[in-house]
Amino acid sequence: MKSKEEELLDGQDEALKQSLSWTQALLATTAPLAQQISLSQVQQISPTALAYLGDAIYEVYVRMFYLLPLQRPEAYHRLVVAQVRAETQALHLRSLIPHLRDTELEIVRRGRNAATGRPKRLDPEIYQQATSIETLIGYLYLTDYQRLTELLQILHLEKE
Active site residues: 55
Q: What is the DSSP letter of 144?
A: -
- φ/ψ of 115, rounded to 5, equals -70, 105
Of 125, 142, 119, 122, nearest to 47 by C-alpha is 142
Q: Is residue 87 exposed (0-12), middle (13-18) or buried (19+ Cβ within 10 Å)?
A: middle
| Amino acid letter, 118 | R
